[in-house]
Amino acid sequence: MQEEQEKNGTGVKEIARRAGVSIATVDRVLHNRTGVSPATKAKILTIIKELDYQPNIFARRLSSNKTMSIAVLIPSASAESAFWDLPRQGINKAAAEIAAYGVAIHEFLFDQDEVNTFEEQVCKVLGGDYAAVVLAPMFVDRAQQFLDACDRKKIPCVLINSDLPAHDNRWYYGPDLFQSGKMGGHLLRYLLPKGNILLVNISKELDTHHHLLRKEEGLRAYLSANGLKQELYKIDIRHTNYSAIAKALDAKREEMPPVDAVFVTNSRVASVARYMEEQQLAEKILIGYDFIPENINYLERGTIDFLICQKPFEQGYRAIKGLCSKLIYDVDMDRVNFMPIDLVTKENLKSYGK
């Protein structure tokens, strides 16, 4: 690769020429050695990025005879939602691509509905020797404690799917949660000029389930800013099996007027779709999240009208690749990397993701 880059005028010699330094100075930067001023290093790194220069890290990692390990702390897929299979697939694809460079991925999976499983995996990660961590911060308070511990150990962390306050040693790949909720509000404003909307949050750990609440805030903000003409009702469902969801929705329907639209803030929208079919409410507007098999089935049937999707596969893939660039090349990642907010319908689902 390096020989080809030199022929194309994008190699070390060209970097040195553009920076006005010696090849040895460029080599020091590429190998993260001392002896280069911060200003010169920054200039060289900028040129490297502009030229998309790829050092021969394969030889470097082999010569070091070391394995660099990255811990991945994310939920496992559940019986109610296969969502976390998608980031995991992206992580595994990136892991296969970087394995030859001496970088290993170690997965620590937890139950997104059971905080004790998260704490057990946290102990394993902190007790190991990891160069970096990829984290889905499902339990906000406990996730923050874990991140504080990583900060003390100077372990860089990348968050996926939901974010927490920015930090010097932290990056984010995932949706803009607030804007995602606003998109839901935008859809409902046009689909339902007036009527009753039911907002549904489904999670056992809802008090700390930051990403659902930010979506709710975004939806409310949009409707409020654009002259709310709909009546907005809300239900928080803390048991995620279908019978509990159906029971909670039955109780909510008894205390509110007939619903015209339902907005579900996460991937568990399939459970609500099943309920709406059973209760002969399938003609009502239903909006939810994530392009996963159980949701796609209801989208094909027309029970779900829109799925808001935010590239979970790419979240996992780009988090690992970005970390490798940081750890091996010392190339800075953007602190915040928002995924596109896609809208999938019955009409475009066949081509989505291809």
Can you give the C-alpha Rg of the chain in angstroms? 24
Residue 104 makes CB contacts below 8 A (sequence gap 6+) with: 67, 68, 69, 70, 95
Mean pLDDT of 296-310: 96
What is the sign of the dihedral through the CA atoms of 116, 122, 128 and 132?
positive
Mean pLDDT of 136-158: 92
- Number of helical (H) and strand (E) elements in the chain, helices listed first: 14, 12
Query: Tell me, what's the pLDDT at 248?
Result: 98
Beta bridge pairs of residue 157: 133, 170
Mean pLDDT of 4-20: 70
Q: Where are the domains of the chain?
A: 2-55, 63-174+312-338, 177-309
- Residue 57 pLDDT > 60: no
- Residue 5 pLDDT > 60: no
Domain made up of 63-174+312-338: CATH architecture: 3-Layer(aba) Sandwich (3.40)
Same fold, 63-174+312-338 and 177-309: yes
On whether the CB atoms of residues 293 and 315 are closer than 8 A, the answer is no
Assign residue 212 a region (left: φ > 0; alpha: ψ between -120 and 50; beta: otherwise): alpha
Alpha helices in 170-256 (DSSP H): 177-191, 210-225, 242-255
For the whole model, what pTM was predicted?
0.80
Query: Tell me, what's the pLDDT at 10?
Result: 52
On whether the CB atoms of residues 135 and 158 are closer than 8 A, the answer is yes
Residue 221 banded pLDDT, cuts 50, 70, 90: very high
- Summarize pLDDT for 59-116 with one digit per residue, the tens: 555 455 567 899 999 999 887 788 999 999 999 999 998 887 788 999 999 998 889 9
What is the sign of the dihedral through the CA atoms of 316, 101, 166 and 117?
positive
> For 177-309, CATH number?
3.40.50.2300
Mean pLDDT of 327-354: 86
Mean pLDDT of 132-139: 94
Q: Residue 59 and residue 183: Cα distance in Å, rounded?
A: 47
For residue 123, count other CB atoms closer than 10 A to its CB: 11
- Summarize pLDDT for 238-275 with one digit per residue, the tens: 999 999 999 999 999 999 999 999 999 999 999 999 99
- Summarize pLDDT for 185-208 with one digit per residue, the tens: 999 988 998 899 999 999 887 765
Q: Which CATH superfamily is domain 2-55 in?
A: lambda repressor-like DNA-binding domains (1.10.260.40)
